[in-house]
A and B are shown apart, each in its own frame.
Chain A
Amino acid sequence: MAINWFKYSAPSTFYALAGKLIPWFAISAAMMFAVGLYIGFFVAPVDYQQGEFYRIIFIHVPASILSMFLYLVMAVYAALGLIFNTRLSAMMATAIAPTGALFAFISLWTGALWGKPMWGAWWVWDARLTSELILLFLYLGYMALHSSIDDPRRADRASALLAIVGSVNVPIIYFSVKWWNTLHQGSTIKFSGTTMHVAMQQAMFIMLAACWLYAIAVVLARVRSVILERERQTKWVAELPEVRA
């Protein structure tokens, strides 16, 4: 049986598919969040060094991981859109950016909340914090460029190029910041020899999965709006029951 992989690369078919998938991702995300937070707050033991404060990692670590992965996913979609000129890829890239920026922000915010009791400072110029901040800047630049160009086609292509240049630059930035940090001050805190408790690990992985599911649900919902906005002149949009109503 030959599967037509390109069927869902058309916005009209993908719109319907996304509509069907969103509830599944949203519900499973909510369930995973509930389970993950329960294990994180009630089952996982108290850390002997950090006390109760460490529990913020259950949201902090997944948010950081996602903020970085989403930039990569966004750049890949942007590149696909630029190379093959597919409309949907460009729309996906635009839909991912706000979620990625949100996760970068959450990661910085929770990091600051954790840093105050642990390091005694809201902000430390640690390599990881700094590169996360720069990542947030990159997301903001991408969104600013996209929103300041009126022609959506030009906006897609220009911001796609920026995303690709940014993704080439991310490793350079990361390593330069790392070396910069070790030069100026010794590494303040290191997670040395983390033999995490099983419950902690479980909570972390479940929260990571929950964040992924949440990100997918939100991106699909946002891409549906983008599709509607871009394709508003087409016949299939006019014939949609939710548009006619």
Chain B
Amino acid sequence: MKELTLFGMLKLVVQRDMTLAMRRRADVLTTLIFFVMVVSLFPLGVGPEMEMLRKIAPGVLWVAALLASMLSLGRLFSADHQDGTLEQLMLTPQPLAVVVLGKIIAHWMVSGLPLVLIAPVLGIQFDMRMETLGILILGLLLGTPVLSMIGGIGAALTLGLRGGGVLLSLLVLPLCIPILIFGTAAVDAVASGLSPVSHLSLLGALLVLALTFAPWVAAQALRISME
């Protein structure tokens, strides 16, 4: 049998996880519906004044995205852990970090990307203007992969623990605060007539940083959890 290259392995894992996710579409939809619901609750909670809604929109969307991404993180490794696939994946000659990266990418495409795609609709509900909406989407596009990566570390650390879901949020949410700050700050900057480039660059820098280290750290965490 021909040995897989690193990229081949990555592609294989992404394809496999996507196929699995597409067979259980309900899970994907639950995350999305949760996101829409949390965002829709805010106008009911704080009142329907458009002025205020426009002001809180970026924060609300970002916090909801943060919570929604926590929701699906528990499933990142647990199904493969239960049926033993994870152990087989760990035995492959390719580094475990590549497998983890593949799983994280698939997780983002299933749970992060749909949020980014639905966000404009929700933004319009909050009466956001077009240019701020564009920056919000761009920020979400840069930021949600980082959420998946940091979440991947947390998911690997809490693999197979009782009460894993709540614990996972407790571990991961504080680490996600910078993403939240830069994401909302970029939108605020545009809204007040400033350039959002610095915030978006910082988000991009965090993405590169996470892309470099997070798969490796998550792989280490998996090894600790599986031994």
Contacts and interface: CB of A to CB of B under 8 A. Distances in A.
A141 B170 contact: yes
Interface residues of A, number: 25
Contacts of B171: 141, 144-145, 162
A176 B167 contact: no
Contact of B178 (A144, A172, A184): A172
A177 B167 CA distance: 24
Contacts of B17: none
A114 to B, nearest CB: 24
Interface residues of B, number: 27
Contacts of B182: 176
* Secondary structure class of chain B's binding surface, majority of residues: helix
Given A173-B174, A173-B177, A183 B185 contact: yes
B78 to A, nearest CB: 15
Nearest to A164: B217
A145 B175 contact: no
Contact of B224 (A137, A158, A169): A158
B178 A149 contact: no
Contacts of A177: 177, 181
B224 A161 contact: yes
Interface string A179-198: 11001100000000000000
A148 B162 contact: yes
B94 interface: no
9 contacts: A134-B174, A137-B173, A140-B170, A154-B225, A154-B227, A162-B157, A169-B175, A173-B178, A176-B177
Interface of A: 134, 137-138, 140-141, 144-145, 148-149, 154, 157-158, 161-162, 165-166, 169, 172-173, 176-177, 179-180, 183-184
